[in-house]
């Protein structure tokens, strides 16, 4: 394989089924800069060595040093690139993601990003790469004092959640994740290049995740937070309607379903097509609520389940299936705030705040038979001054509960094998509203409105190793409970 000019391979990786082999390196034979400038390349081969596809990645002279494959077949490459219009000896690291068909999903640069008034001359490179779940570990080196991330269109927010510097004289850096707590970094001791500091960087790659909020103007907005390493900078406004309460939302197929309380206390729902952003318009469910409704879905059938606090403080649920709402059914008990709901294994789990105090209660409706049965309410130790929020990690089959404590701190509880496991406080941060929670792939994402009544929106994540990171500021403002789905 190769061409008439020098071509070099630098790394190989197998997919998780050992069906395909991926090879990366640099080529002077192919690419926009050939034969004078190299381009990074990636090859996909089958188990017999036959070429499936080949791709060139070029952003100025480029080399792909590392490659790894996630469990769904997406391919990640790391390397170095000289910026367009570079002057002198200056390099940046790059990270790119391709799907199993060879289509580029995203690519980012990292290093001392050049501006006209201050050309860069430092060496920043990504070498080895290793994946664990949706966490990316990169070995490399840096010389820049304050390297930043970019997307080849400008500066973006920093997705790295941990950078460890190692003073070293190295030529190559490779990393391998053995398990959640063991990261092996190997250095080439034979190198005589003084290139500053070796580094190992850990990055969280966001899943496909959506945030929905009621803005300061009471209009509804939504934003896609993934997939990728960056947080977008703009919200999408829903074309009509407003709400005095926070929204509820759930994703199913190509649709994002919303449920809101109208300014007249009526209950409405609608959906947006994820692909083109087209909105269905608001449709009445029937009934009234003084609080935010809760919306969840049966992933197996696509049936929507809505739970609300009635105008009499009673707790009601409704089911949308085959284009029709079943009508409201009342459950025992009362609540003084909006409920939380999540559906899994034919059970609709509901958590509410007590009616006359700040207590928390949990129960479920079993839909296994044609006649749903009610479990009764069980008290959860602890208290909240706002509405609770629920999420399900479908990988672990666990239920996660987020509340605002009486001290305005944010607390998480996990329901596993029929038992609440106890409260964990997020080490930093507070809020004057209910938090939003989304659990997936062993991680927990939490979004809140700030506690200083400014309406600033923050996002935090707990990784699969149990570490909470620092809060990331999201553009926009809300004074009400946000939603994650």
Q: How far apart are CA 410 and CA 196, in angstroms?
A: 40
CATH number for the domain including 268?
2.120.10.70
Q: What tokens were used for 366?
A: 């079993």
Q: Is residue 141 part of a domain?
A: yes
Tokens 């739970």 found at: 307
Q: Are strands 197-204 and 373-374 parallel, antiparallel or unpaired?
A: unpaired
Over the stretch 281-323, which tens digit does the pLDDT of each residue have? 999 999 999 999 999 999 989 999 999 999 999 999 999 999 9
Q: Are the beta carbons of 306 and 293 closer than 8 angstroms?
A: yes
Decide if pLDDT at 148 tops 80: no
Q: Is residue 462 part of a domain?
A: yes
Q: Please state, for a pLDDT cut of 90, what percent of the chain lies above it.
A: 54
Locate the DSSP E strands across 49-188. 51-57, 62-69, 75-81, 92-98, 104-111, 125-132, 135-142, 148-150, 160-167, 173-179, 182-187
**Residue 172 pLDDT:** 42
**Residue 377 pLDDT:** 98
Q: How far apart are CA 268 and CA 273, in angstroms?
A: 17
**Residue 263 pLDDT:** 95
If asked whether residues 301 and 184 sit together in one domain, one would say no
Over the stretch 51-88, which tens digit does the pLDDT of each residue have? 999 998 876 788 999 999 876 688 999 998 876 544 44
If asked whether residues 97 and 220 sit together in one domain, one would say no
**Residue 206 pLDDT:** 65
Q: Is 58 strand, coil or helix?
A: coil
Q: Which of 143-147, 223-227, 276-280 has the lowest mean pLDDT?
A: 143-147
Q: Is residue 2 part of a domain?
A: no
If asked whether residues 222 and 306 sit together in one domain, one would say yes
Confidence band (pLDDT; 50, 70, 90) for 109? confident
Q: Is the pLDDT higher at 259 or at 136?
A: 259
Confidence band (pLDDT; 50, 70, 90) for 185? very low
If asked whether residues 352 and 308 sit together in one domain, one would say yes
Q: Please state, for a pLDDT cut of 70, what percent of the chain lies above it.
A: 80
Confidence band (pLDDT; 50, 70, 90) for 227? low
**Residue 160 pLDDT:** 42
- Return the H-helix or E-strand segment holding 18: none
Q: How far apart are CA 156 and CA 343, in angstroms?
A: 36
Q: How far is CA 151 from the centre of its chain?
A: 18
Considering 166, 183, 204, which residue would you say is the last residue of a domain? Answer: 204
Decide if pLDDT at 91 tops 70: yes
Q: How far apart are CA 168 and CA 165, in angstroms?
A: 9
Q: What tokens were used for 256?
A: 């994002």
What pTM does this model have? 0.69
Neighbours of 27 (CB within 10 A): 27
Phi-psi region of 346 (alpha: psi -120 to 50; beta: other; left: phi over 0): left
Tokens 């480029």 found at: 62
**Residue 3 pLDDT:** 81
The mean pLDDT value of the chain amounts to: 83
Decide if pLDDT at 105 tops 70: yes
- Return the H-helix or E-strand segment holding 42: strand 39-46
Decide if pLDDT at 192 tops 60: no
**Residue 277 pLDDT:** 86
Considering 148, 173, 204, which residue would you say is the last residue of a domain? Answer: 204
Q: What tokens were used for 465?
A: 């190793």
If asked whether residues 253 and 377 sit together in one domain, one would say yes
Q: Is the pLDDT higher at 206 or at 196?
A: 206
Tokens 């209009």 found at: 219
If asked whether residues 175 and 267 sit together in one domain, one would say no
For residue 330, give Cα distances in angstroms to 296, 303, 327, 363, 373: 17, 19, 10, 13, 12
Decide if pLDDT at 392 tops 80: yes
Neighbours of 80 (CB within 10 A): 25
Q: Is residue 173 part of a domain?
A: yes
- Return the H-helix or E-strand segment holding 46: strand 39-46
Decide if pLDDT at 150 tops 80: no
Q: Is residue 334 part of a domain?
A: yes
Q: How far apart are CA 291 and CA 460, in angstroms?
A: 26
If asked whether residues 237 and 376 sit together in one domain, one would say yes
DSSP state of 133: T
Over the stretch 157-180, which tens digit does the pLDDT of each residue have? 334 444 444 333 333 445 444 333
**Residue 293 pLDDT:** 98
Q: Which one, of 451, 467, 478, lies nearest residue 161 by Cα?
A: 467
In sequence order, the 6+-apart residues with CB closer than 8 A to the CB of 153 are none
Q: Are strands 409-416 and 419-430 parallel, antiparallel or unpaired?
A: antiparallel
Q: What tokens were used for 257?
A: 């379903």
Q: What tokens were used for 37?
A: 């400038």
Neighbours of 357 (CB within 10 A): 9
Q: Is residue 1 part of a domain?
A: no
**Residue 134 pLDDT:** 59
In sequence order, the 6+-apart residues with CB closer than 8 A to the CB of 30 are 3, 39, 41, 56
**Residue 87 pLDDT:** 46
Considering 152, 179, 204, which residue would you say is the last residue of a domain? Answer: 204
- Could you list the residue range(s) of the whole structural domain that residue 342 is in? 210-484
Domain count, the chain: 2
**Residue 111 pLDDT:** 74
If asked whether residues 40 and 168 sit together in one domain, one would say yes
Tokens 């609709």 found at: 348
If asked whether residues 85 and 193 sit together in one domain, one would say yes
If asked whether residues 200 and 249 sit together in one domain, one would say no
Q: Can you tell me the mean pLDDT for 95-100?
A: 87
């Amino acid at each position: 394989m190769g061409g008439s000019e020098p071509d070099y391979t630098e790394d190989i990786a197998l997919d998780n089924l050992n069906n395909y082999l991926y090879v990366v390196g640099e080529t002077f034979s192919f690419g926009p800069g050939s034969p004078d400038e190299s381009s990074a390349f990636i090859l996909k081969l089958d188990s017999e060595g036959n070429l499936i596809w080949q791709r060139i990645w070029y952003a100025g002279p480029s080399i792909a040093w590392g490659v790894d494959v996630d469990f769904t077949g997406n391919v990640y490459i790391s390397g170095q690139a000289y910026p367009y219009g570079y002057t002198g000896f200056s390099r940046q690291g790059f990270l790119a993601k391709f799907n199993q068909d060879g289509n580029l999903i995203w690519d980012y640069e990292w290093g001392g990003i050049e501006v006209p008034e201050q050309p860069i001359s430092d060496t920043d490179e990504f070498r080895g790469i290793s994946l664990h779940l949706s966490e990316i570990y990169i070995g490399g080196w840096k010389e820049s004092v304050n390297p930043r991330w970019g997307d080849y269109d400008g500066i973006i927010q920093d997705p790295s959640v941990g950078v460890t510097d190692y003073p070293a004289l190295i030529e190559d850096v490779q990393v391998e994740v053995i398990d959640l707590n063991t990261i092996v970094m190997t250095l080439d001791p034979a190198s005589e290049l003084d290139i500053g500091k070796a580094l190992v960087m850990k990055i969280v790659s966001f899943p496909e995740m959506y945030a929905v909020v009621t803005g300061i103007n009471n209009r509804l907005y939504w934003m896609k937070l993934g997939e990728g390493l960056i947080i977008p900078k703009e919200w999408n406004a829903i074309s009509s309607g407003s709400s005095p309460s926070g929204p509820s939302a759930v994703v199913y197929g190509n649709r994002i379903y919303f449920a809101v309380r109208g300014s007249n206390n009526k209950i409405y729902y609608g959906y947006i097509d994820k692909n083109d952003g087209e909105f269905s318009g608001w449709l009445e469910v029937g009934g009234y609520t003084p609080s935010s409704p809760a919306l969840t879905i049966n992933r197996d059938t696509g049936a929507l389940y809505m739970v609300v606090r009635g105008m009499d403080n009673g707790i009601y649920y409704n089911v949308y299936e085959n284009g029709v709402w079943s009508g409201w059914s009342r459950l025992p008990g009362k609540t003084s705030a909006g409920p939380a709901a999540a559906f899994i294994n034919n059970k609709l789990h509901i958590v509410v705040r007590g009616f006359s105090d700040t207590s928390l209660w949990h129960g479920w409706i079993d839909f296994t038979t044609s006649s749903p049965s009610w479990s009764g309410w069980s008290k959860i130790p602890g208290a909240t001054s706002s509405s609770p929020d629920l999420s399900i990690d479908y990988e672990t089959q666990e239920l996660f509960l987020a509340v605002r404590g009486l001290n305005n701190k944010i607390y998480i509880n996990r329901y596993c094998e029929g038992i609440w496991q106890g409260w964990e406080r997020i080490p930093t941060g507070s809020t004057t509203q209910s938090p939003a929670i989304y659990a997936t792939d062993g991680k927990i994402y939490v979004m809140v409105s700030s506690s200083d009544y400014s309406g600033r929106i923050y996002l935090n994540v707990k990784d699969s190793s149990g570490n909470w990171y620092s809060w990331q500021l999201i553009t926009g403002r809300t004074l009400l409970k946000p939603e994650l789905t």
